[in-house]
Chain A
Amino acid sequence: MPSQDEIFEKVRGVLVDALGVDDDEVELESTLIGDLGAESIDFLDIVFQLDKAFGIQIPRAELFPENLANAEAGFVKDGVVTEAGIAEMKEKMPHADVDKFAADPKVSNVADLFTVKMICNFIASKLG
């Protein structure tokens, strides 16, 4: 199994390619949407490239779940993700830092769950 540094280097290469950013812009704590300018269609490209880089098949919905802040399911109230919603996130995204999000669980912060570190954690769990 590759080390965390090796995983990060490969993930960084994928993001540099997929998002057209510079090497030094990609840090573990960078958010994909806010810091690196990813758009929804980039997620598909990222998944394809990660597959290739690591030789594994990654289901997009597992790495990047959709409808995380689903109001109909009772996961959102007044623009804030409810406790039930946070529990759901923890289950769906064990690779993300949901505790950090829970400190200020505004719906507008959901996108910040998608970080470079989240991808690295996910890959490590798949390779482990």
Chain B
Amino acid sequence: MRWFWVDRFIEFEPGVRAKSVKNVSLSEEHMHDHFPGYPVMPHSLMLEGMAQTGGILLGQTHNFSSLIFLAKVPKVVYHKHVRPGDQIVYTATLEDAREEGGVTDVKAHVGDELVAEAQIVFAQLSPDEAGIPKNINQDNVVANALAQLIEGTTGD
């Protein structure tokens, strides 16, 4: 299993804005216990989806040449429950990007309704700085998995 909490990007404007979708299904295991009898998409996993959308937007600005880490979430607000069958659309805008990291604002909508919003700070590190052993190839994750998510996305 890969730790992906977006299904696909639907828009990608390099260095500016990215939009992704996450289809919420009752067959996802976490929905069975969260909560019994009242399945709700966990806020923590929505935050992960927001961070992945913003993180990929930031990473693409330097062609994923360094690793992006979620460093800090200065603000996050959840407005409504997200239920099975909902499609979440995450819209990330890049507020700041520089060598050490970046900041994104991400909004999550289901239909026209704003369900969550967050400001997310990322740190950028080289594999050496991050202490990743030499024999682990992160390129695989980025080049294959993330690029596929973006592939075919229009940049309008």
Chain B residue at minimal CB-CB distance from A19? B74
**Distance of A86 Cα from B67 Cα, bound (Å):** 34
Interface size band for B: 10 to 19
Q: Is A122 an interface residue (CB 8 A)?
A: no
What chain B residues lie within 8 Å of A52 (beta carbons)? Answer: 95-96
Q: How far is the CB of A55 from chain B (nearest CB, A)?
A: 12
Given A48-B96, A48-B121, A51-B96, do A41 and B71 touch, yes or no (CB 8 Å)? yes
What chain A residues lie within 8 Å of B72 (beta carbons)? Answer: 41-42, 44-45
- Count of chain A residues with Cβ under 8 Å from any Cβ of B? 10
A-B interface, 3 closest residue pairs, ranked by CB to CB distance from nearest: A41-B71, A45-B121, A48-B103
What chain B residues lie within 8 Å of A42 (beta carbons)? Answer: 72
Contact (Cβ within 8 A) A45 B74: yes
Give me 25 A-to-B residue pairs in the complex whose CB atoms sit less than 8 angstroms apart, sorted by A's number.
Answer: A17-B74, A18-B74, A41-B71, A41-B72, A41-B121, A41-B123, A42-B72, A44-B71, A44-B72, A44-B100, A44-B101, A44-B121, A44-B123, A45-B71, A45-B72, A45-B74, A45-B121, A48-B95, A48-B96, A48-B103, A48-B121, A51-B96, A52-B95, A52-B96, A60-B100
**Distance of A42 Cα from B71 Cα, bound (Å):** 9
Q: How far is the CB of A19 from chain B (nearest CB, A)?
A: 10
Q: How far is the CB of B67 from chain A (nearest CB, A)?
A: 15
Interfacial residues of chain B within 62-102, with CB under 8 A of chain A in the complex: 71-72, 74, 95-96, 100-101
Q: How far is the CB of B96 from chain A (nearest CB, A)?
A: 5
Chain B residue at minimal CB-CB distance from A17? B74
Chain A residue at minimal CB-CB distance from B122? A44
Interfacial residues of chain A within 42-98, with CB under 8 A of chain B in the complex: 42, 44-45, 48, 51-52, 60
Q: How far is the CB of B80 from chain A (nearest CB, A)?
A: 25
What chain A residues lie within 8 Å of B103 (beta carbons)? Answer: 48
**Distance of A43 Cα from B156 Cα, bound (Å):** 35
Chain B residue at minimal CB-CB distance from A43? B100
**Distance of A52 Cα from B123 Cα, bound (Å):** 18
Q: Mark B97-117, 1 if CB is under 8 A from A, else 0.
A: 000110100000000000000
Q: How far is the CB of B100 from chain A (nearest CB, A)?
A: 5
